Amino acid sequence: MKRLFFALFILSFGFSPTVKAQIVDESPSDALYPEDETAFAKPVPYPYIRKADVMWSKRIWREIDFRQKFNQKFYFPTDPQENWKSFITVVLDALKEGKITAYDISSTDELLVPITYSEIIARQTDSSYQIMQRPYPPYEEYDTVIFTEFDPTKVMRLRIKEDWYFDSERSQMLVRIQALCPVMIKERNGEEVTEPLFWISYPESREVFAHALVFNEFNAAARLTYDDLFWKRLFESYIYKEQNVFDRRIAQYATGVDALLEADRIKNEMFRFEESLWQY
């Protein structure tokens, strides 16, 4: 009897419609181990500051040039790959998703007027009229309109607004970054022209930067984020302005080598102030 049921089962399976194998749409693994999104740590919280403990402070403006070798981690990769993105790509994605807010450029570099991602892109979409000549007889001239779209790879500098202060409670000279400003470099009439795009609040953006990985050239297994770059000061920069009564930049009263020497003077002045507080 058991043999009869087994034979009927085999026959019914043989005449049943063809059974198709289920295809699982999964990409092959391209890493040593799967990336754990929950492993991202939150930004290191700022130390609490009491007004009575700040015995000295000065506001400084710096500029990071992505073309310097030590700063290339801000610029590359131009095309996102694996878990790495360029700094401007991280910022633009966060603006598009509404995670951070951009502010319009003002003469005082204050965060006053919010602007949207669409406004930023529209401002960089330019059109120009040019007179062209046809490459065939009678070589007549004609007017044409050339549209220039926003190119994130032209963002090659970053301005930083930061406050240096001496905390008497901790007996330390500390710094706190307040805002960041991406700067485009364009070429007009054969000359290099800088064009700041917008300001963003660094404290507001720290959560985004803490989840954006940076390529670690010394150890790819060690996690490094954009927040780490700013928090640990892993960048090369130069001072282009200090807080002053005239609210002017160094370039407005010094040029060339004199401007570099003036930037060094400001940096050394803060260093000497801290050193003079101690007796050995």
- Can you read off the two tokens belonging to residue 255? 């040029």
List, for residues 164-217, the tens digit of each pLDDT value.
999 999 989 999 999 999 999 988 777 889 999 999 999 999 999 999 999 888
Q: Residue range 113-141: average pLDDT?
A: 83
Burial 94-124 (b: 16+ CB within 10 A, else e): bbeeeebbbbbeeeebebeeebebeebeeeb
Q: Residue range 151-162: average pLDDT?
A: 96
Beta strands in 4-80 (DSSP E): 54-65
pLDDT > 70: percent of the chain: 83
Q: Taking CA 37 as the corner, what is the angle to CA 207 and CA 181, rounded to the nearest 5 degrees?
A: 30
Residue 55 phi/psi, 5-degree rounding, is -90, -15
CB hemisphere CA count around 143 (13 angstroms): 3
Q: Which amino acid is at 272?
A: R
List, for residues 19-62, the tens digit of each pLDDT value.
444 555 566 766 666 666 545 678 989 989 999 999 999 999 99
pLDDT at 24: 52
Q: Which amino acid is at 36?
A: D
pLDDT of 16 strictly over 90: no
190: region left, alpha or beta (phi > 0 left; psi from -120 to 50 alpha): left
**Distant-in-sequence, close-in-space partners of 237: CB < 8 Å, separation ≥ 6:** 62, 63, 64, 65, 160
- Listed by start position, the domains of the chain span 56-124+153-275
Q: pTM above the 0.85 mark?
A: no
